[in-house]
Structure 1
């Protein structure tokens, strides 16, 4: 079958991604209401009973808002590290003990041949992680809610066939925006969110001949635009001598209110 995925929603209003591989279907984060998650899944032909598990990156509400409801409704196992469980337990409500799966950061989980490995990231949460998915030599990496892309993160997500990478804000739009300064400082800090420029700088080191596509994710509704994010990333690449023909630029958008099309990772 190979890996395929759809980003159901991405941004401060809610985050969720579906990944399928080797007969397994998992949801990464559930940051919208259960009703909205079900509606978004239905747009991509997925029902709640198709899910095998929920994976959690961290405990912020835009990543776990519907987690408890969707897990209880469909009897799903929920995978998170101990610190994240402790931080989100009150928000998600009662999860049956046998469905509450504690994983160590860095641990690899096997879903019938589709392997998933978590890795640590820099964000203002208890113990935030990203996830890499592997199957039959394919690799999909999810890397959002990053204050910065450390060398360890680069090592973890390098050689990805497809990468979902945060491009949260345009720095000047954020500085001039309506947020109070303490919130701006948080977003701009090393445990905040990745700017368009920072995403472009990271891609300069991450893009290889293996890279098929990059999805720019978790865009701010107030301090970014899809066109601006793409143009800024491309400018960073071109400034470092990395050029693409117009129809070969491997950049794709994600959305806060609708899912991306299914994407088969092996497809060039």
Structure 2
């Protein structure tokens, strides 16, 4: 199984997960051109995709969905609440008939060779979800746009081989930055985004010897930067009461602009 970030950040998200014969996108929050360029680097054509999984209806996760789906007519999977949000989004244009397929958190389904496990997340959207993908005894997950996490979240992220995990903001940068008060409160709230510190703490709860690949993603352009996210998460792991040290992790920060290295599990 392979995993790759085509784009990850507050301005647009698109993640590829696939195997030799099955290919998925999680979110299409960038332009059709950039999605195609990313897939091209993976030597995959748009019409070879088995499905598009949408986490929620915010623009940075669905911006390219209308144009991309009109060209390739790939099935789209999302919760009923997210589908309602997609349909209400005036910027997408008319979506092709029959492409939107409702799914439910905690109800796994299969796409090609891949087993998809949607799980509920805490974010200020209609009915948002994260995704765990399994195949041949290996598993990867995308967990971003989490205002908070709990035992349920941890359970869904246990025993992974690779993860894309949100490290959205540095709390101090956010607090002293130029965002209006209401927006700061939204980001810091239970339905906002994970800070670098919380990202590190969640990582501590799911670390095990076979979690070989960690991508930090969905960084805020205004309230974070890659080195700070990386060092903060590393420090949280080092300071935690476990046998792992931050410098032992195979971890990198996914870029908002460029395609990441391909993770093979």
Normalised by the size of structure 2, how large is the TM-score? 0.95
* SS, match of residue 25 in structure 2: strand
1:40 Cα offset (Å): 2.5
1:183 Cα offset (Å): 0.6
1:94 to 1:105, Cα distance in 2 relative to 1, 3 A: farther
Matches of 1:223 and 1:99 in 2, distance apart?
36
1:4 to 1:124, Cα distance in 2 relative to 1, 3 A: same
1:126 to 1:161, Cα distance in 2 relative to 1, 3 A: same
Residue in structure 2 matched with residue 55 of structure 1 by the alignment = 53
Residue in structure 1 matched with residue 170 of structure 2 by the alignment = 170
Residue in structure 1 matched with residue 225 of structure 2 by the alignment = 225
Matches of 1:218 and 1:249 in 2, distance apart?
19
Residue in structure 1 matched with residue 67 of structure 2 by the alignment = 69
CA contact (8 A) 2:201 2:236 kept: yes
Matches of 2:155 and 2:112 in 1, distance apart?
26
Residue in structure 1 matched with residue 41 of structure 2 by the alignment = 43
Residue in structure 2 matched with residue 249 of structure 1 by the alignment = 249
Question: What is the CA deviation profile of residues 200-225 of structure 1, one whole-angstrom value per residue up to 9, with x for unaligned ones?
Answer: 11111110112112111101111111
1:174 Cα offset (Å): 0.6
Question: What is the CA deviation profile of residues 122-165 of structure 1, one whole-angstrom value per residue up to 9, with x for unaligned ones?
Answer: 00000000000001110101100000111111111111111111
1:39 Cα offset (Å): 2.1
Pairing 1:110-129 to 2, within 5 Å after superposition: 110-129=110-129
1:78 Cα offset (Å): 0.7
CA contact (8 A) 2:173 2:224 kept: yes
Residue in structure 1 matched with residue 205 of structure 2 by the alignment = 205
1:245 to 1:170, Cα distance in 2 relative to 1, 3 A: closer
**Worse-superposed segment, 18-27 or 51-60:** 18-27
Normalised by the size of structure 1, how large is the TM-score? 0.93
CA contact (8 A) 2:237 2:245 kept: no
Matches of 1:19 and 1:237 in 2, distance apart?
26
Question: What is the CA deviation profile of residues 170-228 of structure 1, one whole-angstrom value per residue up to 9, with x for unaligned ones?
Answer: 00011111111111110000000000000111111110112112111101111111111
Matches of 1:146 and 1:244 in 2, distance apart?
24
Task: Give the total of aligned pairs.
Answer: 262
1:253 Cα offset (Å): 1.4
Residue in structure 2 matched with residue 96 of structure 1 by the alignment = 96
1:262 Cα offset (Å): 1.3
CA contact (8 A) 2:235 2:246 kept: no
5+ residue gaps, structure 1: none
CA contact (8 A) 2:162 2:213 kept: yes
Matches of 1:93 and 1:105 in 2, distance apart?
27
